[in-house]
Amino acid sequence: MSPKQEPVASTVGRATRRGVVRVGAGLAGLGVFAACGQAGGSPGAARPALFKERTVLRYQSYKNPEELAVFQQGVQRWVERVGNVEVQTDIVPQGEYIEKLLVRISGGDPPDMMEVNDRMSSDFIMRGTLLELTDRIKRDGKEVDLDDVFPAYRDVLLYKGKRYGIPDYCGPTVMYVNKLFFQQAGQPLPDDSWDWDKFLEVGRILTKDTNGDKVPDQFLTTNSLGGSPSWTPMLWWSFGGDMIKGPGPHHPNETEWLLDRPPETARANAAAVEYWGSLIYRHNVIPQPGQRGDFQRTANIATEIAGRWLVPIYRTLDFVQQGYLTMVLPPKGPKGRKVRNSTLNATIPINAKRPDEAWELVKFHTGPEGMSVAVEGQRTNSTRKSVMEAFKKSLLPWESYDVYAKANELFTQPMPMTYNWTLAERTLSDGLNAAYRGEKSAGQALKELQVQLDELMKRGL
């Protein structure tokens, strides 16, 4: 979902390698009393047989510090209500997450609850490392209320009729815009009429060498759509192309890559690759490797195609606080406007030590109250229909409910996700970058990638 993060953990009270949310010792007796007194089933109430003894739950994630702080606000509310429970949070960088969590689970040291985004889903589900939650969801149907969850987010961890997680984050892509660049260039702000041609046309005006060294140091956008099975499909779809057949998690034996077939899809994919490569190397409106560009901290990039997970970071930036940020839908392609999405899910490892207690936290965290905390912290759109009004009220002055709502409408099914994600992403990125640099034609790069990724799937589990 987000850029790779360094290991970090923030805590309620103090910063350590592992975050801790808990009821203080002075409130422990009250906490036990509260947990035992909630058999009536108020929202977020735990089953009375649980938490009679002091309980420690371990939560694993790759959240950045700003996202983690919002998560801990919700957990704190649940902890104070349940009592006699402590939630420890441990952070692993996203680029290392799959491998390290698989090692922990196979080694008998699993967390009790863990974050799994859509791109990780096939690796964890196909290896049998996640607890199947279908029966628990049926048993606690009124609390879980999956009918309240938008289908495109609800079914991200659905595989062959079995559910392995419940979504706690969604962020269909929009385009965030630094208005200052457009004002300085005398250009109108982007709007719904923009297509990829207009994107490039204005990008060539905004991209500049500001210090006279004959190298651009002010750019149109980031390379967000350039080389990932999670991000690049959005661009390809808008050209009429595709990458993987069918939504959701895929077993390697069931994965059908569509990079070089059928012919009409291959032609559309090649056109998208040629277009994106031209943005980087022919027109240089996207920073090339070695060129410094950052929408956020150095603020020398005019637009960023991203999702709401970055808003907790954006709101701390000087140019945002000065009123220069706005947002629109991404540009249209020859086949219309498309969006992609990252959906995060709360899951329980297959061998978690406290699955029943973890399930209580999952229900609260992904339910209406937990989701309300998340949207109020500006880290997510709402996965739930019943929380859309709270989401609307949470928007900062420069955020647009209409833009988010339209992006939500455009995202109609889970992203297609491949097994062996890390290697597949690296393979795709290397092959596409060769085409972007002009070392191979787009068509040749896609032919070779088709073979390489098909072979990767043949390795099996």
Query: And the tokens for 390?
Result: 């709270």
At 50 the pLDDT is: 85
Q: Is there a single domain that holds both residue 39 and residue 136?
A: yes
Query: And the tokens for 82?
Result: 């349940």
pLDDT at 12 over 90: no
Angle between helical axes of 28-36 and 65-82 (0-180°, round to 10): 70
Residue 10 located in a structural domain: no
When pLDDT is averaged across residues 15-41 and rounded to a whole number, the result is 33
d(CA 288, CA 442): 18
Q: Which residue range(s) make up the domain with 101?
A: 18-170+346-395
Residue 6 located in a structural domain: no
The gap from C-alpha 400 to its chain's centroid, in whole angstroms, comes to 19
pLDDT at 229 over 80: yes
Q: Is there a single domain that holds both residue 32 and residue 166?
A: yes
Residue 413 located in a structural domain: no
If one counts the domains in the chain, the total is: 2
Q: Is there a single domain that holds both residue 309 and residue 431?
A: yes
Residue 397: cis peptide before it, omega within 30 degrees of 0:
no
Q: Is there a single domain that holds both residue 193 and residue 273?
A: yes
When pLDDT is averaged across residues 146-171 and rounded to a whole number, the result is 97
pLDDT at 420 over 80: yes
Q: Is there a single domain that holds both residue 123 and residue 166?
A: yes
Q: Is there a single domain that holds both residue 198 and residue 153?
A: no
At 371 the pLDDT is: 98
Q: Is there a single domain that holds both residue 111 and residue 123?
A: yes
pLDDT at 104 over 80: yes
- Cβ pair 130, 154 in contact under 8 A: no
Query: And the tokens for 60?
Result: 């694993």
At 8 the pLDDT is: 31
Compute the mean pLDDT over every residue in the chain, rounded to the nearest whole number. 90
Of 377, 346, 341, 339, nearest in space to 364 by CA: 346
Assign residue 384 the CATH number of its domain.
3.40.190.10
pLDDT at 13 over 50: no
18-32, 193-207, 230-244, 253-267: range with lowest mean pLDDT? 18-32
Residue 162 located in a structural domain: yes
**Do the strands 325-328 and 416-417 form a parallel or antiparallel pair, or are they unpaired?**
unpaired
More confident residue, 93 or 461: 93
Q: Is there a single domain that holds both residue 23 and residue 158?
A: yes
Q: Is there a single domain that holds both residue 293 and residue 240?
A: yes
Query: And the tokens for 392?
Result: 């609307």
When pLDDT is averaged across residues 276-290 and rounded to a whole number, the result is 97
When pLDDT is averaged across residues 374-403 and rounded to a whole number, the result is 97
Residue 410 located in a structural domain: no
Residue 3 located in a structural domain: no
The percent of residues above 90 in pLDDT, for the chain, comes to 87
At 47 the pLDDT is: 65
* pLDDT tens string 29-64: 222 222 333 333 444 556 656 898 999 999 999 998
Residue 435 located in a structural domain: yes
Q: Is there a single domain that holds both residue 179 and residue 166?
A: no
Where does a domain end: 379, 395, 411? Answer: 395
At 46 the pLDDT is: 62
Phi, psi of 42 (to 5 degrees): -65, 160
Residue 11 located in a structural domain: no
pLDDT at 20 over 70: no
At 461 the pLDDT is: 78
- The torsion region of residue 437 among left (phi > 0), alpha (psi -120 to 50) and beta comes to alpha
Give the end-to-end CA distance of the chain in Å, rounded to a whole number.
Answer: 24
Of 180, 138, 135, 172, nearest in space to 153 by CA: 172
When pLDDT is averaged across residues 104-109 and rounded to a whole number, the result is 97
* pLDDT tens string 288-317: 999 999 999 899 999 999 999 999 999 999
When pLDDT is averaged across residues 180-198 and rounded to a whole number, the result is 97
pLDDT at 231 over 70: yes
Q: Is there a single domain that holds both residue 319 and residue 229?
A: yes
When pLDDT is averaged across residues 174-193 and rounded to a whole number, the result is 98
Q: Is there a single domain that holds both residue 110 and residue 257?
A: no
